[in-house]
Amino acid sequence: MIHVPRKRFGQHFLKDKNVIERMIAVLNPKPEEHLIEIGPGQGALTIPVLNKTHQLEVIEFDRDLVVALQQYNKKFRNLLVHSADVLHFDFAAIKHDERLLRIFGNLPYNISTPLIFHLLNAASIIADMLLMVQKEVAERLAAKVNTKQYGRLSVMVQYHCDVELLFDVAADAFYPAPQVCSSVIRLLPHRDDRYLVKDYSFFKALVQAAFGQRRKTLRNSLKHLIDDESWMRIQLSSDVRPENLTVKDFIELCHRLLDKK
Q: Considering the domain boundaries, does residue 155 fall inside one? A: yes
Looking at 161, 189, 217, which one is the last position of a domain?
Answer: 189
pLDDT score at 10: 53
Q: For residue range 96-152, what is the model confidence (pLDDT) as tens digits?
A: 999 999 999 999 888 999 999 999 999 999 999 999 999 999 999 999 999 999 999
pTM: 0.91
- Residue 117 belongs to what domain range? 7-189
**CATH code at position 143:** 3.40.50.150
The DSSP call for residue 177 is P
Query: What pLDDT score was predicted for residue 182?
Result: 96
Give the Å distances, CA to CA, from 134 to 46, 109, 115, 211: 20, 6, 13, 21
Q: What pLDDT is attached to residue 4? A: 57
Give the residue ranges of the chain where pLDDT is below 70. 1-11, 238, 260-261
- Count of domains observed in the chain: 2
Whether residue 18 is found in the same domain as residue 135:
yes
Count, in order, helices (H) and strands (E) of the chain: 11, 9
DSSP letter, residue 111: G
Q: Are 68 and 1 in contact (CB under 8 A)?
A: yes
Residues 164 and 249 in one domain: no
The pLDDT value recorded for residue 6 is 52
In a domain, 60, yes or no: yes
CA dihedral (122, 128, 134, 139) positive or negative:
positive
Residue at a domain's end among 189, 217, 234: 189
The answer to the question of residue 194 being in a domain is: no
